[in-house]
A and B are shown apart, each in its own frame.
Chain A
Amino acid sequence: MKSVPLNHDGPQKSSSAHPQGAPSFDDIYTHYFPFVWRCLRGLGVPRGALDDAAQDVFLVVHRQLAGFRGESSPETWLYGIARHVASNQQRWARRKQAPLEPLVSEPAHPDPGPHERVADAEAAAFVEAFVAGLDDKRRDIFILAVLEEMTIPEVAAALSIPVNTAYTRLRAVRAEFERAIGRHRP
């Protein structure tokens, strides 16, 4: 995912005060909500808990926005928050009865036809199952570098790991993904 330039000069629409030059909450929300949502899905948050999880992420963003200095990319910052929220959500869900998943998920985009929708849903289920089988390190790499197509230096910064380590993990997880696809074929 490419970083979207944030509006630093426009009128401050958000109620949250923020220092001059910092992105507003509205900017962050508008541009990065899809990113956060997809990350939460990738991090294993079930469909029925996505609303709450996304809300939690952006409440943290709202609280911490004043301290965000832009030294890292917004994706990096948001992914850290999303990972923390997803972890909390899963810990909390384990203690409770699992919420019922809707039988039919609301399609994200109404435009595709039924065949495309089925294909998208199958692909999503496959990827979800694959990600669920990864350990945390490879899962992070897969979500950020493979699914979100962030650059490896960005991913390395986001995960606080050396760039070479990120490349190594990326190669490994890509190979694993291809093997999983091969196994899935009849």
Chain B
Amino acid sequence: MTDDGQKPADILGQARRAFSPSAADQARVRRAIDGSLAGSMADSAPPPARRASGWGARLLAAGAIAAVSGGIGYWAGHRAALREISPVVVVAPSVPSVAPSRPVAPTAPLVAAPPVAAPATPPHHHAGHSARHEVESLAPVAGESFTVEVRALRNAERALRDGNPGLALAFLSDLDRQVPHGELTEERDAVATLARCARGDHPLGVDLGGEFIERYPASVYRARVQQACAATDPPASGDSP
């Protein structure tokens, strides 16, 4: 290197070339960043400040009542929904190290990014590096219900993105059991509608997409629902399974 009398400028130029990233490096890191951002938006959603302990206590009470009284019948239905997708924790078999590819999604995310409290140090484990679906098995304690909702909706949307609407519906069922009266009702409804349409549900005389739009005429998910349900919502097209 330096045995032929090279000047410092030459060495620096060579080092600069060697230090520079390739276009593939730039694209790869970008995909990882997009994946991390998509995951962390849902992960780091803080509970709204107005959610006080009284609200959490009401949720706990509602959860307890649902579990003890009406929960039995509900649980049976829930198990039926889960039957096709056991085990509950699913690791996608061939998910790329980063997900999704840029742009994250051409459509509006189902879980809007709340103001995110930045951690003091950058994370070492990026959500985008893993496509693991998590299911909360314990009832949320007071103040955590919003986080549980966000996480479940994120999991459901990932399942949808992975082409598994049944799993998405199971996540929603689980969420209904854990947080029966949550805040994100429109989002829940949107994911449920998208999942049912993706699964090909066409209940007799029911226009899934149309009903969603009727309930939420100004919804930001309107276009997405319309698109997803266009193929499965012909009038009186058949029976629901």
Contact = CB atoms under 8 A, between A and B. Distances in A.
Same complex for A and B? Answer yes
Interface of A: 15, 29, 33-34, 37-38, 41-42, 50-52, 54-60, 62-64, 85, 88, 92, 106-110, 112, 119-124, 126-128, 146-147, 174, 177-178, 181, 184-186
Nearest to B126: A55
Closest CB pairs A-B (n = 6):
A123-B14, A124-B18, A56-B122, A127-B15, A122-B1, A120-B18
Given A63-B118, A120-B18, A37 B25 contact: yes
Contact of B20 (A59, A88, A92, A108): A108
B15 A59 contact: no
Contacts, number: 124
Contacts of A126: 1-2, 11, 15
B12 interface: yes
Nearest to A63: B118
B12 A147 contact: yes
A126 B126 CA distance: 33
B3 interface: yes
Contacts of A178: 8
A21 to B, nearest CB: 21
A174 B7 CA distance: 12
Nearest to A17: B113
Contacts of B6: 181
Contact of A59 (B1, B17, B21, B122): B122
B123 A34 contact: no
A41 B3 contact: no
Contact of B16 (A38, A112, A174): A38
B86 interface: no
B222 interface: no
B29 interface: yes
Contact of B2 (A55, A108, A185): A185
A74 B136 CA distance: 42
Contacts of A184: 1-2
A136 to B, nearest CB: 19
Interface stretch (B32-40, B173-181, B185-193): B32-40
Name, among A107, A146, A177, A181, the residue most crowded by chain B CB atoms within 10 Å (CB to CB): A181
Secondary structure type dominating chain A contacts: helix
B22 interface: yes
A119 B21 contact: no
B104 A15 contact: yes
Contact of A88 (B37, B116, B122): B122
Contacts of A33: 21, 26, 29-30
A144 to B, nearest CB: 13
A76 to B, nearest CB: 19
Contact of B21 (A34, A52, A58, A88): A34
A50 B2 CA distance: 27
Nearest to A15: B104
A145 to B, nearest CB: 11
Interface string B118-134: 10011110100000000
B9 to A, nearest CB: 10
Interface in B61-100: none
A124 B121 contact: no
B36 A55 contact: yes
B28 interface: yes
A117 B1 CA distance: 11
A121 B122 contact: no
A96 to B, nearest CB: 10
A181 B11 contact: yes
A29 B30 contact: yes
